[in-house]
Amino acid sequence: MSALRPVRGTHDITGDDALRHREVIETARKIAARYGYAEITTPVFEFTEVFARTLGETSDIVTKEMYTFEDRGGERITLRPEFTAGIARGLISGALGQSQPIRLFTSGPVFRYERPQKGRLRQFHQVDVEVLGAPEPEADVEVIAIGRRILEALGLDAKVTLELNTLGDPESRRAYREHLVDYLQAYREHLSEDSRTRLERNPLRILDSKDPGDREILRDAPILTECLNEASKAFFAKVRAGLDALGIGYEVNPRLVRGLDYYTHTAFEFTTTELGAQGAVLAGGRYDGLVATMGGPDTPGTGWAAGIERLAMLLDATPARPRPVAVVPIGAPAEFEALRLAEELRSAGLVVELDFRGKVGQRLKRATQRHARFALLLGEDELAKGTAILRDLDQGEQTDVTRADLVATLAEVS
């Protein structure tokens, strides 16, 4: 029955995949906290306008990829395709307070209806870092530094390259738009249908086209850095100087752009060659015009998002599971005492498993299958003496240990 299988483009995250997934999230969370980033959880769905206005009415995400539906109240609702718009909405609605800059970290599922591919499903997961209310280039340096530190902590620094570019300020972008339109008009009839539409409404979106014919035309298109004014050049110089001061290597990629007008100045991506065509694993930049585009106050912003599935696929090894201690009662009189002992050990911080059925041999066999390091056996004799049998499941050795010494003994031999 198809209804009892996962929907295409979704999957259950279990076993080693779950361990890798958690490793990415927890590493990112801990490092963001070191930089003073507070955690936020935004709704998994918003009014459609939140995303349609921010991602661009003509963007592929809005026109082809968003999961949008009408709820029972007649409202148009969309499952979030990314985090930034919801966070900006939270600023406008007053949920984030007024003290700026606001540093935020979040993680969770996002949704896009597209062809499932390596590291990108229809429900996938991201970690996300945002700073609102900081116009300084040092904020861009900080969010890039957080990304770099997370990648290093995951052991991925040798597998990624930081690509960097500047989009300039609005004045520079307007000048570039004119140059780009002049160039593309000569190729108008050879552009894809989507790009011909964008040429009228938002020509910078053409730079994101994946159409092979469009890509060939764009190969000789003017680049944005040719149109930068002095203020934009100075901003980019400060970002580069900050990265240099922190020893963060990068490559300037003048073709790295963002198509929407509210993006300004810094754009960056950490890319890899180990995931095929899906090279970007962490990408972001500055979006000083976003909040104003949504109807809020003029508020600068910068940040990035990273795909958890992609990062997890790059990990060299699956994080090790903690090896549990198995508590094994011998006979019915020891059952409730085994429950109490298991709780005592958990309260002391140990990972403890207690099987619910089976003979002693069966329980020990299952404990070995679950990679338990030790087993604690409790029978009538042990209850009378206030002891437990500590069996080393790797070595096959065992010894009697008093209940009062169990925690210290386990800490010593683990």
Average pLDDT over every residue of 333-340: 94
Write down the pLDDT at residue 318.
Answer: 93
pLDDT at 42 over 60: yes
Domains of the chain: 2-169+229-314 (3.30.930.10), 325-413 (3.40.50.800)
Residue 45, CA distances (Å) to 59, 78, 83, 294 in order:
19, 5, 10, 17
Rounded to the nearest 10°, the torsion over CA 342, 348, 349, 352 is -10
Q: Is the pLDDT of residue 412 over 80?
A: yes
Confidence band, pLDDT 50/70/90 cuts, at residue 29: very high
Q: How much is the average pLDDT of 273-299?
A: 90
Say how far apart CA 96 and CA 44 lie, in whole Å.
Answer: 17
Residues 6+ apart with CB under 8 A from 171: 229, 232
To the nearest 10°, report the CA torsion of 175, 179, 185, 191.
-90
Where is average pLDDT lowest: 200-214, 379-393, 397-411?
200-214
CA angle 216, 217, 223 (to 5 degrees): 105
In which element (H, E) is residue 353 found?
strand 352-354
Say yes or no to pLDDT of 17 above 90.
yes
Helices (H), 154-205: 170-185, 193-201
Tokens at 85, concatenated = 């718009």
pLDDT at residue 63 greater than cutoff 60: yes
Q: What percent of the chain has pLDDT over 70?
A: 97
Q: What is the rounded CA–CA span in Å between residue 37 and residue 134?
A: 14
Q: What is the DSSP letter of 219?
A: T
**Mean local confidence (pLDDT), 377-393:** 95
Q: Check pLDDT > 60 for residue 1.
A: no
Q: How confident is the model at residue 121 (pLDDT cuts 50, 70, 90)?
A: confident
pTM of the full structure: 0.90
Half-sphere exposure of 199 (CA within 13 A, CB side): 20
Mean pLDDT of 295-315: 95
Q: Could you tell me the two tokens for 133?
A: 């209310």
Please state which of the ranges 53-62, 147-156, 227-236, 375-384 shows the lowest mean pLDDT: 53-62
What's the pLDDT score for residue 138?
98
pLDDT at 59: 64
- pLDDT(404) > 80: yes
**Residue 56 confidence (pLDDT):** 67
User: Which strands form 45-47's sheet, in the order they lie side by side?
Assistant: 45-47, 76-79, 68-70
**Both structure tokens of 316:** 């060299």
The model's pLDDT over 239-269, given as tens digits with 9 standing for 90+, comes to 999 999 999 999 999 888 886 778 899 999 9
What pLDDT is stored for residue 368 in this prediction? 94
| pLDDT, averaged across the chain | 92
Inform me whether the pLDDT recorded for 58 exceeds 60.
Answer: no
What pLDDT, on the 0 to 100 scale, is given for residue 297? 92
Confidence check: pLDDT of 192 > 90: yes
- pLDDT band at 114; cut points 50, 70, 90: confident
Question: Which single residue is written with the structure tokens 């890899």?
Answer: 272
For a pLDDT cut of 90, what percent of the chain falls above it? 77
Looking at residue 287, its pLDDT comes to: 95
State the pLDDT at residue 301.
97
Between 44-58, 68-82, 125-139, the lowest mean confidence (pLDDT) is in 44-58
Most confident of 59-73, 91-105, 371-385: 371-385
The pLDDT confidence band at residue 3, using thresholds 50, 70 and 90, is: low
